[in-house]
Amino acid sequence: MPRFFSNKRLILLLVGVIILVALISFSLKDRQNASLPEQVVKDVVGFGQSLFSKPALYITNVIGNIDGILNTYEENKHLKVRLSEYASGQAELADVKAENERLLEIVGKKDELRVYDPVQATVISRNPDQWEEKIIIDKGENQGIEKNMAVITADGLVGKVVLVTKFTSTVELLSTENRNFRVAAVVAGEKTYGLIEGYDIKRSELIMKRIDSSFEVKVGQKVITSGLGGIFPKGLLIGEVTEVSTDDYGLTKLAYIRPAADFSLLDHVIIAKRSSIVQGTDGDSSADTEGEDGS
């Protein structure tokens, strides 16, 4: 009996191998239609795959979308930082360009100083109590700066040096309320002389006084320094006439002058350095006579 069963198992194994080979050869044949068992197997397997693949694909897409959103968020943060840096760089570049233009304009003013040696300086501070009256620059005695030297910008005259230390100088602006601060002025292209005396705070304009009543002064005319007194070089632009009237006594005329320079925005200036400062033999009286206070 054991022998019979042993042979029977061998026979069954051989029959199974034959059937398997037959099925394999049958499935490898070039057929247009699948057999019924194949269809059943494929449908069952396909249905099972769809049950698992669709949720897996959905989850994969969701995870991919979340990952994409996170990546987009990080990219946006990075781009915002870059954009901020770009905007900052553009602003800095614009400021540098504007500063270069101002410096080039200042360099172009050297010829107008004539016998004066121009010294470029930077404004380092302003008088906190009198915002529009005095500034402090980074040039002093060591650079040959002396009291009463004229100070200008590329736009025009701004004031004069009133105090000097080793490394800094204090400049009093034309907008000062100091009544002793006078500038001898003339209408450009005319022989109309006067004195810049005082500043109208409400109008933000200079006042040109002591104009001979016979002189005709028109709105829009340019006013420049006359060079009298030796403090301010001749031909420096002061401003433009905006209004002309008579003084309280009606003997002379006065004019309101819109300053060419912006006193509230000063960063670079030029000092008219001279080998010697013109002083009157009688002290300040000579300067007063010529139209500029030497004090």
DSSP annotation string for 116-157: SEEEEEEEEEE-SSSTTTEEEES--GGGT--TT-EEE-SSSE
Helix (H) or strand (E) holding 286: helix 284-290
Task: Specify the pLDDT at position 242.
Answer: 94
Which structure tokens are listed for 9? 């198992």
At residue 293, does pLDDT exceed 60?
no
Q: What does the pLDDT read at residue 71?
A: 75
Question: Tokens in use for 15?
Answer: 């029959």
Top-confidence residue, 81 or 210: 210
| Domain 115-290: homologous superfamily in CATH | Rod shape-determining protein MreC, domain 1 (2.40.10.340)
The DSSP call for residue 143 is G
Of all residues in the chain, what percent carry a pLDDT higher than 70?
63
Arithmetic mean of pLDDT, 110-124: 73
Percent of all residues in the chain with a pLDDT value above 90, rounded to a whole number: 19
- Please write the tens of the pLDDT for every residue from 19-33: 777 766 666 555 555
Least confident of 43-57, 180-194, 201-215: 43-57
pLDDT for the residue 244: 92
Task: Provide the 10 A C-beta neighbour count for residue 188.
Answer: 14
Exposure of 10 by Cβ count < 10 A (0-12 exposed, 13-18 middle, 19+ buried)? exposed
Measured on CA atoms in the order 129, 149, 125, 173, is the torsion positive or negative? positive
pLDDT in tens, 148-160: 899 998 888 999 9
Mean pLDDT (the chain) is 75
Domain ranges of the chain: 42-108, 115-290
How far apart are alpha carbons 293 and 232 in whole angstroms?
11
Select the more confidently predicted residue: 84 or 283.
84
Tell me, what's the pLDDT at 104? Answer: 65
* Residue 280 DSSP code: B
Q: Which range, of 109-118, 145-154, 259-268, averages the lowest pLDDT?
A: 109-118
Token pair for 155:
């736009």
pLDDT at 251: 83
